[in-house]
Amino acid sequence: MKDESTPSPITRSKDSGLGVVMFDSLLSHFSGKKEISNVDPVLLKRMRQEFENSEFFGEDMRNLWLMLERIQIKANLDLGNNEDHIDLLNLACGYCEEGAILPAFWGRSGQSVQQFSVDLRDAEIDKAKRRYAATESIFKSVIDPKVVNSSNESSNVEFIADNAVNLSIYGQIPSKFDVVFIRHQNLWHDRPTWQKIYDYALGSLSESGVLIITSYFDREHMLALELIKLLGGNVLVTEKNELSRELDFPGKSIDRHVAAIALNTLN
């Protein structure tokens, strides 16, 4: 278990090593958690430095990583501590900018992460597949092909264009997940639909699983948490993202709030 008083290894400074931490976590993720061999250490060092100093994934993904770390510590989350595998469901994922970040983050302790990213829109899922494949190719370019070959490319992520309630028809998709993630939930525009999504998300959690949501607006976030509580969710922690990037619409910003929710049965 993580102790809340333990200082975070990551700070808000770009020079703190955040880029290196993310790079190493992504490299481990795309190698399938296998030992990386025959990599030129000079090349690897240069790539880490370039990643640290670049805008790769943009500041939004760096800030999301920081927020995930903050709520993980404050909510004392230790997912998969006694297991070597984590199942992750990304609902209403859109083009899934966070598709590589999520499994890299949750797999930092050595667990493999199987991610299922779901959205109703075929066009968005197509973009998500291409984005993930492009990111994957960057990291696999420094990995020995004997470690990760073409036969198991993309084996740790599945993109599905369908209603989440239909997931049971897709092969080996688990019925329960360790992490359910919803980025920029949209309760404000369609409460009945999002009530169904929240209900499904809570019902898809394993006994020790966690639902994580992010929101654009202050009030929408508050209303979402109130509804989730009514549906049986236990809000472990909610944090405002002080680094959230403001958008053109007043009061709206990227990942403005992030919250972690468990099932009330854990109390």
6: in domain: no
Contacts 24+ apart (CB under 8 A), 32-41: 32/112, 32/147, 32/148, 32/152, 32/155, 32/156, 33/107, 33/110, 33/111, 33/112, 34/147, 34/148, 35/147, 36/142, 36/143, 36/144, 36/147, 37/144, 37/146, 37/147, 38/144, 39/142, 39/143, 39/144
218: in domain: yes
175: in domain: yes
Question: By residue range, what is the domain housing residue 113?
Answer: 14-266
174: in domain: yes
- Enumerate residue ranges in the chain where pLDDT < 50: 1-15, 150-154, 266-267
5: in domain: no
Quick one: pLDDT at residue 106?
Answer: 94
pLDDT in tens, 99-122: 999 999 999 888 889 999 999 999
Quick one: pLDDT at residue 98?
Answer: 94
Quick one: pLDDT at residue 16?
Answer: 54
3: in domain: no
Rounded to whole angstroms, the Cα distance separating 255 from 239 reads: 10
Quick one: pLDDT at residue 189?
Answer: 79
4: in domain: no
Contacts 24+ apart (CB under 8 A), 149-157: 152/32, 155/32, 156/29, 156/32, 156/103, 156/112, 156/113, 156/114, 156/115, 157/99, 157/103, 157/114, 157/115, 157/116, 157/117, 157/132
Rounded to whole angstroms, the Cα distance separating 117 from 102 reads: 11
215: in domain: yes
* Predicted structure pTM score: 0.87
The CA-atom distances, in angstroms, between 241 and each of 159, 214, 257, 265 are: 28, 10, 6, 28
Residue 189 sits in a domain whose CATH number is: 3.40.50.150
